Chains A and B, each alone.
Chain A
């Protein structure tokens, strides 16, 4: 079970969180004209990386904040966690 440092609450076990997918995906602005390709990239196309990956988790059974977690998908090592408002650097 992973040990995730919630930027709001501190270290918590994985079973308090739910996974939310790739954190680098940006939703196109509402009302903006986008091509089919751009839209498909937003909705469906994901890289399924092996290695470092920025992903979203929600601290569901805690502060209910969505957070950004940089995790190695192969080793599960977690390098960094950020608040929703913080930009991935």
Chain B
């Protein structure tokens, strides 16, 4: 079978370029300009998948974004993607697609048995059926649902495609390039406004491509082409096809997904696959048109039943017949346009019109052509399983309740037109209060909340002349307000056929003795009977009915089903539709790929990576890196096959015996200047700062207002009004914001400036008993003796021609210094330290050794200052000034903070001196106590003490001050460990702090 449903010389496809593609393993041919759907229909393929719940055969219903069920799994360039609408996917050479929702195959589907077990799957079937027995869930229900449901399979491979994000600003964003979009864009562009015109499809023009109209002596299509080509030339206009504006967010921010490469066999080099646009528009013109709605009848989901407008589009745009023996079922004039198109191409359609005697130009035209029209007729049911073979039709009484004798007529497709539903999703997302428009039986936008205007069919206006007129005016008026220009464009002469009113008929009654499924929501398999059950069971709010039955949910968002669902609820409830109201439309209007949402922020680009100036040295010397916030820091420098444990132990031991050097560039640094700098520090830190002399450093702790420790660090007085503050790596940004908050809002009278200098300085901590000897060699001109540079002293030095800051501070608890040079000289400094340190057996050490050194000294860090502890808990109460007030002081006398048995930091050693203690473990009195076993505290940090060669941990324990010497148990249910331990002082090594002062 080779494209036997393709017409010659009709359509906008490129017949010079034949493309081959595969569907469910079989090779077919189509043309450039086809969609997967149009190419399949051209080949006579109508069975594309199985329905979500009942696994009934499903074909094509629409021709674009409105398609509820022709969803396929796509294979492109070695990748696969689920949830692709065949009606939107453009054909390319080598495209491959398979059906979803069917197992083992689309032609023989085991799940279709659901169709005969309807009792098993009524409304709310998820809630009812899969509830019990509980043990069935994992073994029976879940695997069943997973295999049977879903709209395809996501790839588990890394997506190699590139996705980009773009931020854009414009005066007018226009969503849709049909008549209203083109007219308003043209008027606004001519008035000098910055315009973005977005079209979801590959071709611009919307309904102008398929309607028989004349604008300014051109066909609709020609007029659209001339406007678009003019717009494309204008510098103030951006015209985008394959671009769906899918979400309308706060403050006129809209998001658009541009499919740049999806229509190509392979993404071009340096091109993204898709681009997500964040557009901040001054005004938004919604010209999204309308979607034809179905009429509900028996078996209306059979492949071959489709929207009449879709049949016309397949014919006029793609030159494809959806059938050769078509039945047109309509309640309005639109169906006639489709019938006439069939007729013009040598096909004899039959029209069933639910109206008794409609009078209009187009009805007359069809009559004159001799088309077979049956008035007051309806389709009762489609017959045929995998494809429509015939239709049961009948005359319907004037009150639309009684069916006449059922007749069966042969047909191979049923094209349905139940009038038009404005696409109000974007307007509704923006917060617009929609209103019901009686004459079109649908909701239209009402009062705007944001700067949004809806035009044309999206606003319920279905005549071309009026639409163009309103759109030219709106484009002109809105642009004039922004640009203050007043360039008017002339209004073209419009010729269109006048149509008459539609019949407010939407659902064919069931004939006696028949129980046909009549579907409302094709994507979610919701039938009339499901809504009836939901209402019978007491669901009243439309939002509840939606959730219980899944009507209008998922990727479809009720595009074709919404109005008919409301009609049904209002009929049963005996309410008018506006009283029932519609459910909330939520973004995205159409599915957006996760890749597009994520953009370039994947893998290592998911956050910035910060490296110190010495990073390349670390790399060359086998550093194993660890993430410290956004920084990469050496964890240890691997020698041979050393493990982390062995390497860090070696490094820490070398600090205790010789000298080590650690890259501390990542520490937060804040430069503080001004006559009131000391006063600021005195208010921010808990201890006294007014008398710190120039050339001295001091350790400080800062609290939040609620008394919890925020951060700690040393601050050095560089000169009279100049201080250098350090913060922990993790809190650097927060501390700066904290200082700015107090300076700008609370104490603006303080004359102080603060600025981050973290990146400006490279830092090296030199620690160990031999550090002074090394320092002396690094700074031969400086006096770095214990008298010249005492503990907590500061001086400037000359490091072989490079200006350096030398601080005598220690985190490791050893005799230690920290040398800072300007970042550009960091590498030089590091190499000099390593070179000259050779004779002192220097070794670089990483964060793991750094942790070991600070833990066994009992110095607190992030794992203790975790946002839950006060100074007392960390044994920092000695730093609380009694003489002055400071941030958070008033909170410290809260009852819980002053309790006798308040938690406090302690040291923990396993009794066997061998078993390592997992961090996060709990401390209990009795390991065999019944659950829940009262918890006394938790292990905050663990290490292997290099000083004593046994495990040592820090813990925060209730009544810590009275716990020293007690025997407790550490329990880690996660690691399944119970370890008998002894509580000791947190200052495990050098409790008097003699080394740092030596």
Contacts and interface: CB of A to CB of B under 8 A. Distances in A.
B705 A42 contact: yes
B203 interface: no
A75 B250 CA distance: 9
Nearest to B888: A43
Query: Does more than half of chain A's interface fall in helix, strand or loop, or is it mixed?
Result: loop
A43 B887 CA distance: 11
Most interface-central of B251, B449, B741, B746 (chain A CB within 10 A): B251
A49 interface: no
A1 B249 contact: yes
Interface residues of A, number: 26
Interface string B254-297: 00000000000000000000000010100000000000000000
Interface residues of B, number: 25
Most interface-central of B431, B741, B744 (chain A CB within 10 A): B744
A1 B278 contact: yes
B449 A75 contact: yes
Given A75-B449, A84-B748, A34 B252 contact: no
A80 B41 CA distance: 57
Nearest to A65: B744
Given A13-B280, A18-B737, A39-B891, A1 B251 contact: yes
Contacts of A84: 744-745, 748
Contacts of B740: 58, 64-66
Interface in B857-885: 884-885
Contact of A43 (B253, B706, B737): B706
Contacts of B431: 75
B425 interface: no
A10 interface: no
Nearest to B889: A30
A46 interface: no
Contacts of A27: 705, 746
A89 to B, nearest CB: 17
A2 B884 CA distance: 42
Contacts of B705: 27, 42-43
Nearest to A36: B894
Contacts of B886: 30
Contacts of A65: 740, 744
Nearest to B706: A43
Contacts of B885: 30-31
A79 interface: no
Contacts of A60: 737
A25 to B, nearest CB: 10
A78 B251 CA distance: 9
A20 B280 contact: no
A58 B738 CA distance: 11
B744 A34 contact: no
Given A20-B741, A39-B890, A66-B744, A30 B683 contact: yes
Contacts of B253: 1, 3, 13
A37 to B, nearest CB: 12
Given A3-B253, A30-B683, A34-B890, A58 B741 contact: yes
A48 interface: no
A39 to B, nearest CB: 5
Interface string A14-31: 000010100000011011
A39 B167 CA distance: 44
18 contacts: A3-B250, A3-B252, A3-B253, A3-B280, A13-B253, A13-B280, A31-B884, A31-B885, A39-B891, A44-B706, A64-B740, A66-B740, A66-B741, A66-B744, A66-B745, A75-B431, A75-B449, A84-B745
The 6 closest A-B pairs by CB, nearest first: A3-B251, A84-B744, A30-B885, A31-B885, A66-B744, A76-B250
Interface of B: 167, 249-253, 278, 280, 431, 449, 683, 705-706, 737, 740-741, 744-746, 748, 884-886, 890-891
Given A65-B744, A75-B431, 14 more contacts: A1-B250, A1-B278, A27-B705, A39-B890, A42-B705, A43-B705, A43-B706, A56-B745, A58-B740, A58-B741, A60-B737, A66-B740, A66-B741, A85-B744
